[in-house]
């Protein structure tokens, strides 16, 4: 996920302080991994430099000065471009699991065991995501569903690969 463009999108709603942007980000997208304040402020500084946002001024108070930011026309155009540029499905056909499977076969190690271990890990994560959906709001349910559907695809790959290990091992050793 592109945190900078996501923050820029949130800033499109209304002028905001970095503190408030961070909390909005965490509310909508920070499930399991909140955004660090330092990352928010360094991103805002880059966006000011790139003229995607501008600071509206500083307010003094009991703590450090607070800057309120608003999006520029260039920033609005950037958000629109980002929104309607389709995401390319994973460009990499290689994965860590794929590499481990091939290496296990090349080493004459137990690739079935490797796939079983990974299957158990995926199933555990599926149970965790399913629990998270209970009594969750729709936003959280959709995030969990996204993760569950990806895990289901991985599990299908694990099953298909497991059924083809003997053939794959022969091909690898004859190459």
**For 121-141, how does the pLDDT look when each residue is reduced to its tens digit (9 = 90+)?**
999 999 999 999 999 999 999
**For 141-160, how does the pLDDT look when each residue is reduced to its tens digit (9 = 90+)?**
999 999 999 999 999 999 99
C-beta pairs of 32-36 under 8 Å, 24+ apart in sequence: 35/3
pLDDT at residue 57 greater than cutoff 80 = no
3-83 maps to which CATH number?
1.10.10.10
Rounded Cα–Cα distance for residues 39 and 35 (Å):
7
User: Where in the chain are the domains?
Assistant: 3-83, 96-174
């Amino acid at each position: 996920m592109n945190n900078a463009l996501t923050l820029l999108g949130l800033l499109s709603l209304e002028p905001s302080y970095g503190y408030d942007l961070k909390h909005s980000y965490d509310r909508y997208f920070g499930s399991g991994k909140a955004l660090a304040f330092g990352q928010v402020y360094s991103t805002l500084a880059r966006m000011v430099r790139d003229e995607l946002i501008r600071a509206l001024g500083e307010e003094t108070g009991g703590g450090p000065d607070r800057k309120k930011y608003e999006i520029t026309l260039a920033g609005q155009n950037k958000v629109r471009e980002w929104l309607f540029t389709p995401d390319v499905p994973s460009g990499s056909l290689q994965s860590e699991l794929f590499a481990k499977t091939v290496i296990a076969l090349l080493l004459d190690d137990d690739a079935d065991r490797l796939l079983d271990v990974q299957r158990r890990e995926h199933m555990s994560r599926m149970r965790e995501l399913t629990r998270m959906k209970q009594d969750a709001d729709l936003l959280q349910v959709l995030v969990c569903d996204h993760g569950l559907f990806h895990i289901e695809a991985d599990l299908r790959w694990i099953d298909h690969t497991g059924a083809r290990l003997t053939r794959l091992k022969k091909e690898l050793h004859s190459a």
